[in-house]
Amino acid sequence: QQQVKQSPQSLIVQKGGIPIINCAYENTAFDYFPWYQQFPGKGPALLIAIRPDVSEKKEGRFTISFNKSAKQFSLHIMDSQPGDSATYFCAASKGGYQKVTFGTGTKLQVIP
Amino acid sequence: DAGVIQSPRHEVTEMGQEVTLRCKPISGHNSLFWYRQTMMRGLELLIYFNNNVPIDDSGMPEDRFSAKMPNASFSTLKIQPSEPRDSAVYFCASSSTGVEGTQYFGPGTRLLVL
């Protein structure tokens, strides 16, 4: 059962553009929503995370928007750079933060 | 800190052979996870341990797969016998409860079963 649905599967933007990656979840018990970034040949690494008690979180050029009623959250990358080219995974977990359910990933390419 | 260490980084084997993947978590972390990543299925959680005890192995595909964590600094994932459909990148990750459970991933083992 796919508990975290992620779209799009791939995304190409020009440098300076604002790619947006969307995720939707089903389990209302989820209470922690991290985003992971993965470069080719590397393991995923935590990028930014949000709790459902806030609607937005910013860290540098990365912003998570969270809509609890719609059970959706999204990642926005401001002023995207070629170095942001990577695969991005949304994820969700509940109580204890241990078992994390990952989305299917979005491969982002930022063209110079 | 050296981060999560996995070995080998690459493994090529023939169908039917036993494969053992190894992981050393970050010192002080008390949770350890094994994932498998493929193009078709994405990132799948196979099993995770808390304080060396297996908590959830529902993601282990079949009896050919087994995992152990004999102590806090070492874990193995074994596939016996291996099959071509086991070809994937296997990641180990560790985390520490109380720090919002951020998982730190190793570099992965790329397995090819011929």
Structure tokens at A106: 């979005």
- Subunit contact B101:A93, Cβ cutoff 8 A: yes
CB pairs < 8 Å spanning A and B? 54
Taking 70 as the threshold, does the pLDDT of residue B19 lie above it? yes
Q: What is the pLDDT of residue B2?
A: 81
- Subunit contact B56:A99, Cβ cutoff 8 A: yes
Least confident of A52-56, B3-7, B9-13: A52-56
Residues 6+ apart with CB under 8 A from B2: none
Sheet holding B65-71, edge to edge: B5-7, B19-24, B74-79, B65-71
> In 10 A of CB B33, how many CB atoms?
27
Taking 90 as the threshold, does the pLDDT of residue B15 lie above it? yes
Taking 80 as the threshold, does the pLDDT of residue A2 lie above it? no
**Average pLDDT in the A8-30 region?**
95
Q: What percent of chain A has pLDDT over 70?
A: 95
Average pLDDT, whole number, for chain B?
Answer: 93
B→A contacts (Cβ < 8 Å), by residue, are 4, 31, 42-43, 45, 48, 50, 55-56, 91, 93, 95, 97, 100-108
Average pLDDT, whole number, for chain A?
Answer: 92
Within an 8 Å CB–CB cutoff, is residue A54 touching chain B?
no
Min Cα–Cα distance to chain A from B100, Å? 6
Min Cα–Cα distance to chain A from B43, Å? 7
Q: What percent of chain A has pLDDT over 90?
A: 80
Q: What percent of chain B has pLDDT over 90?
A: 82
Taking 80 as the threshold, does the pLDDT of residue B98 lie above it? no
- Which residues does chain B have within 8 Å of residue A101's beta carbon, measured at their own beta carbons? 45
> Confidence class of residue B100 from pLDDT cuts 50, 70 and 90?
low
- Per residue in A64-92, pLDDT tens? 999 999 999 999 999 999 999 999 999 99
Query: Of B114, B96, B113, whose CA–CA distance to B21 is shortest?
Result: B113
**Average pLDDT in the A6-19 region?**
96
Min Cα–Cα distance to chain A from B36, Å? 11
- Which residues does chain B have within 8 Å of residue A44's beta carbon, measured at their own beta carbons? 43, 91, 105
Q: What is the pLDDT of residue A66?
A: 95
Taking 60 as the threshold, does the pLDDT of residue A30 lie above it? yes
Taking 70 as the threshold, does the pLDDT of residue B42 lie above it? yes
Q: What is the pLDDT of residue A100?
A: 86
> Confidence class of residue B68 from pLDDT cuts 50, 70 and 90?
very high
> Confidence class of residue B99 from pLDDT cuts 50, 70 and 90?
low
Query: Of B86, B85, B84, B72, whose CA–CA distance to B21 is shortest?
Result: B86
Nearest-angstrom CA–CA distance, A13 and A4: 24
Min Cα–Cα distance to chain B from A80, Å? 25
- Which residues does chain B have within 8 Å of residue A49's beta carbon, measured at their own beta carbons? 100, 102
Q: What is the pLDDT of residue B1?
A: 63
Q: What is the pLDDT of residue A52?
A: 87
- Which residues does chain B have within 8 Å of residue A43's beta carbon, measured at their own beta carbons? 4, 91, 93, 105-108
Cβ atoms of B95 and A100 within 8 Å: the answer is no
Count of alpha carbons within 13 angstroms of residue A35, beta-carbon side: 28
